[in-house]
């Protein structure tokens, strides 16, 4: 049985036991309230009272008999029976006193019974209230557990690859259904591999008839070549290992006889070394495909049939040497970033030497600037020097990094709506409230309308559309605020109230894209840029140190920037002096 199933079974048994006990308590309280239990208690006390009443009646009869006897005796023997009369009077007084005492006792019993009944009713009501509180708490815990089990990529930042096995994986797709069938469409030009031109042909292979081939019509093997042929082209790759010999000639000075050698390039100081293409390929494998060091060596050895097999130590040092040669590139990239009017940035936590460090990204569609820091704080952001240098004309898209709203920065902050929609879905799933889903749907519909309008050549919504959006947004936020105030759950309540407060405070930052079509709606560009390092963490586990993480950041900056500008990354690394 799964953990969720066991948890659900235990909560169900506890809930059913409590509900049975509550029903029993409710029946007891109902008997007190409708008088049945009181009548039973009163009946029990009535038997005792009847005994007293019976005794009182008997005593009254005896009193009457005694009184009659006394009158008779008094009439017959007035003078002689004065003492006996007095005794009867005294006995009558004693019995009357006893009757009064018994009547007082009856009233005391009735009063005590009423007080006891009231006390029992109050106690059972208190127990019922406590049980109801326990049930509510268990219901909140059950809802929280179900919400935890229900978390996926639609309501959190959980990658789709980490969707629980018992849930259907959600694949985000912003494309709309056109109603057309799958595959090639009628009238669509078939895409085939273009054959090379005659001057591009490097190899030519003839295929004469084989001995076992014969005429398919008559079966004869007497086949005469006609001089014609059919052409088929094949495009393939072949790895040729080049082993260059560099000769540096020696000369003798005609004046002094000194032997002079031509200058040796620093890349060739060792007697034998790997060339720049081997180094560029190894760097690309480690930083693009996130291959571990040992797999890089295996791949290079495999495609060269064992002729090129660099050691792990060589490849590890290669990262450091390459990063050192990219300082000027990083400086130029930094200066170019400061001229951008729209900048995306995000950061993520990675592991280095068993410690949590930060890898941060700044960039846009044409630039990618990575940097690593020991801590994810304001000091490291100031050390980067990018956000500090931006002007008030710049706009920065991020995932609600509240540190961006510091007074030292003057740019315009833009909030990612993809993160907001996931937070809204999470709140709706955990609370069952309808307003968060309404706001999520409003955002999705507005983004689709904006995309349609942009595709049609539009540059902005009409004022009436914007006013309608703002009114709907105000109404939904008002409903969310009311629901959040009434949410007493210790699990979902704080998050829902914080979300509503954040939307009120940063409303303009979240929805500036409604009025300005040049503003993006999400920070997905920065998220995609950091997705590769998460894959690297799965493969490598961690960086050896924060310094090696910075080496990775520099090389990644070069590769990503070249790719975004249509430059072959291996060619760019090849042209970099890596020694």
**304 domain-assigned:** no
Reduced to 3 states (helix: H, G, I; strand: E, B; else coil), residue 412 is strand
**568 domain-assigned:** yes
**Which tens digit of pLDDT belongs to each residue from 108-136?**
887 887 888 888 888 888 888 888 888 87
Cβ neighbours of residue 561 closer than 8 Å, sequence gap 6 or more: 333, 363, 366, 367, 368, 369
Given a contact cutoff of 8 angstroms between Cβ atoms, the answer to whether 418 and 524 are in contact is: yes
First to last CA, the chain: 59
Nearest to 62 by CA among 28, 96, 23: 96
pTM given for the model: 0.70
pLDDT at 39 over 50: yes
Nearest to 424 by CA among 496, 492, 362, 512: 496
Which of 149, 166, 182 lies at the terminal end of a domain, its last residue?
A: 149
| Total of domains in the chain | 2
**290 domain-assigned:** no
Find the range with the poorest average confidence among 113-127, 353-367, 557-571: 113-127
**Which tens digit of pLDDT belongs to each residue from 177-189?**
666 777 667 777 7
Find the range with the poorest average confidence among 109-113, 323-327, 443-447, 531-535: 109-113
On average, the pLDDT of the chain sits at 84
**359 domain-assigned:** yes
- What is the Cα–Cα distance from 86 to 78, expressed in whole angstroms? 12
**204 domain-assigned:** no
pLDDT at 139: 76
Classify residue 520 by its DSSP letter: -
pLDDT at 450 over 80: yes
Which of 149, 173, 198 lies at the terminal end of a domain, its last residue?
A: 149
Q: In b/e form, how buried is each residue of 527-565, taking b as 16+ CB within 10 angstroms?
A: bebbebbeebbeebebbeebebbbbbbbbbbbbbbbeee
Given a contact cutoff of 8 angstroms between Cβ atoms, the answer to whether 359 and 553 are in contact is: yes
* Alpha helices in 288-377, H assignment, sequence order: 293-303, 312-324, 327-337
State the pLDDT confidence band at 412, using cuts at 50, 70 and 90.
very high
**391 domain-assigned:** yes
Question: Which residue segment(s) compose the domain that 503 sits in?
Answer: 323-575
- What is the Cα–Cα distance from 510 to 98, expressed in whole angstroms? 89
CATH of the domain at 9: 1.10.287
H or E element that contains 480:
helix 463-486
Taking CB atoms within 8 Å and a gap of at least 24, the contacts of 359-364 are 359/530, 359/533, 359/549, 359/553, 360/384, 361/526, 361/529, 361/530, 362/337, 362/386, 363/337, 363/525, 363/526, 363/529, 363/560, 363/561, 364/340, 364/525
Q: Residues of the chain with pLDDT > 70: what percent?
A: 88
Reduced to 3 states (helix: H, G, I; strand: E, B; else coil), residue 432 is coil
Cβ neighbours of residue 384 closer than 8 Å, sequence gap 6 or more: 360, 362, 371
Q: Is 491 exposed, middle or buried (0-12, 13-18, 19+ CB in 10 A)?
A: middle
**496 domain-assigned:** yes
**77 domain-assigned:** yes
Which of 149, 176, 202 lies at the terminal end of a domain, its last residue?
A: 149
**Which tens digit of pLDDT belongs to each residue from 453-474?**
999 999 999 999 999 999 999 9
Nearest to 330 by CA among 384, 378, 277: 384
């Amino acid at each position: 049985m799964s953990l969720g199933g066991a948890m659900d079974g235990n909560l169900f048994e506890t809930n059913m036991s409590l509900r049975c006990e509550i029903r029993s308590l409710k029946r007891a309280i109902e008997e007190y309230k409708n008088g049945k239990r009181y009548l039973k208690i009163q009946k029990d006390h009535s038997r005792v009272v009847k005994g007293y009443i019976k005794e009182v009646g008997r005593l009254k009869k005896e009193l009457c008999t005694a009184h009659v006897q006394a009158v008779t005796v008094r009439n017959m023997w007035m003078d002689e029976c004065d003492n006996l009369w007095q005794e009867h009077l005294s006995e009558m007084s004693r019995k009357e006193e006893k009757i009064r005492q018994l009547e007082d006792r009856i009233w005391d019993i009735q009063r005590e019974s009423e007080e006891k009944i009231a006390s029992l009713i109050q106690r059972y009501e208190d127990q019922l209230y406590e049980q109801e509180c326990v049930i509510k708490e268990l219901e909140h815990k059950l809802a929280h557990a179900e919400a935890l089990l229900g978390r996926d990529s639609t309501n959190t930042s959980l990658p789709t690859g980490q969707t629980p096995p018992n849930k259907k994986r959600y694949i985000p797709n912003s494309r709309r259904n056109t109603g057309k069938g799958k595959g090639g469409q009628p009238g669509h030009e078939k895409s085939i591999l273009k054959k090379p031109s005659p001057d591009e042909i490097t190899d030519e292979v003839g295929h004469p008839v084989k001995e076992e081939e014969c005429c398919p019509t008559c079966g004869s093997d007497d086949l005469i070549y006609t001089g014609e042929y059919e052409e088929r082209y094949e495009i393939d790759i072949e790895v040729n290992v080049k082993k260059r010999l560099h000769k540096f000639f020696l000369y003798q000075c005609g004046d002094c006889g000194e032997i002079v050698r031509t200058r040796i390039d620093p890349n060739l100081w060792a007697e034998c070394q790997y060339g720049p293409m081997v180094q560029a390929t190894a760097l690309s494998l480690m930083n693009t495909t996130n291959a571990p060091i040992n797999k890089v060596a295996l791949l290079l050895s495999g495609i060269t049939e064992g002729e090129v097999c660099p050691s792990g130590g060589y490849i590890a040092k290669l990262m450091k040497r390459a990063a050192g040669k990219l300082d000027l590139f990083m400086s130029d990239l930094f200066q170019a970033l400061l001229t951008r009017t729209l900048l995306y940035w995000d950061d993520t936590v990675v592991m280095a030497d068993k410690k949590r460090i930060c890898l941060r990204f700044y960039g846009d569609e044409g630039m990618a600037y990575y940097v690593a820091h020991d801590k994810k704080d304001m000091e490291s952001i100031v050390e980067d020097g990018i956000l500090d240098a931006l002007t008030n004309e710049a706009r920065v898209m991020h995932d609600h990094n509240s540190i961006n709203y510091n007074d030292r920065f003057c740019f315009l902050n833009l909030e990612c709506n993809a993160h907001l929609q996931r937070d809204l879905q999470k709140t709706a799933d955990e609370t069952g409230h309808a307003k968060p889903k309404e706001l999520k749907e409003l955002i999705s519909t507005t983004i689709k309308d904006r995309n349609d309008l942009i595709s049609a050549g539009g540059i902005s919504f009409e004022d009436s559309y914007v006013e309608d959006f703002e009114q709907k947004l105000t109404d939904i936020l008002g409903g969310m605020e009311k629901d959040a105030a009434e949410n007493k759950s210790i699990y979902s309540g704080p998050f829902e109230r914080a979300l509503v407060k954040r939307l009120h405070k940063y409303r303009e930052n979240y929805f500036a894209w409604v009025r300005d079509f040049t503003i993006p709606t999400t920070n997905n560009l920065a998220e995609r840029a950091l997705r590769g390092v998460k894959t690297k963490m799965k493969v490598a586990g961690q960086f050896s140190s924060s310094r090696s993480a910075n080496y990775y950041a520099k090389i990644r900056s070069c590769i990503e920037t070249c790719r975004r500008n249509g430059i072959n990354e291996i060619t760019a690394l090849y042209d970099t002096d890596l020694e």
